[in-house]
């Protein structure tokens, strides 16, 4: 079975809870989950549950989507 990855997050989703999967330099993947703080042509800014903002360059992103709030 093949899966199709897509980036389904944009500027209209700022303020929503998102998950972003990125490819690291070593070829492995890492996920960032939190509130989308910013979104532009070069990066996504995601605030995690500890309050830290992660800037994720768009060229590292392989998939992204809006997800339900952690409380349900």
Q: 58: pLDDT confidence band, cut at 50, 70 and 90?
A: very high
70 in Cβ contact with 16 (< 8 Å): no
Residue 47 has pLDDT above 90, yes or no: yes
Q: Which domains does the chain have, with CATH numbers?
A: 11-66 (2.30.30.100)
The string of pLDDT tens digits covering residues 19-45 is 999 999 999 999 999 999 999 999 999
Instruction: Give Cα separations from 37 to 17, 48, 57, 60 (angstroms).
Output: 9, 10, 14, 18
pTM for the full model? 0.88
């Amino acid at each position: 079975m093949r899966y199709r990855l897509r980036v389904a997050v944009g500027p209209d989703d700022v303020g929503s809870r998102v998950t972003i999967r990125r490819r690291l330099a070593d070829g492995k993947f890492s996920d960032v989950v939190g509130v989308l703080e910013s979104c532009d042509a070069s990066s996504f800014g995601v605030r995690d549950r500890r309050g830290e903002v992660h800037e994720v360059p768009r060229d590292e992103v392989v998939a992204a989507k809006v997800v339900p709030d952690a409380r349900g």
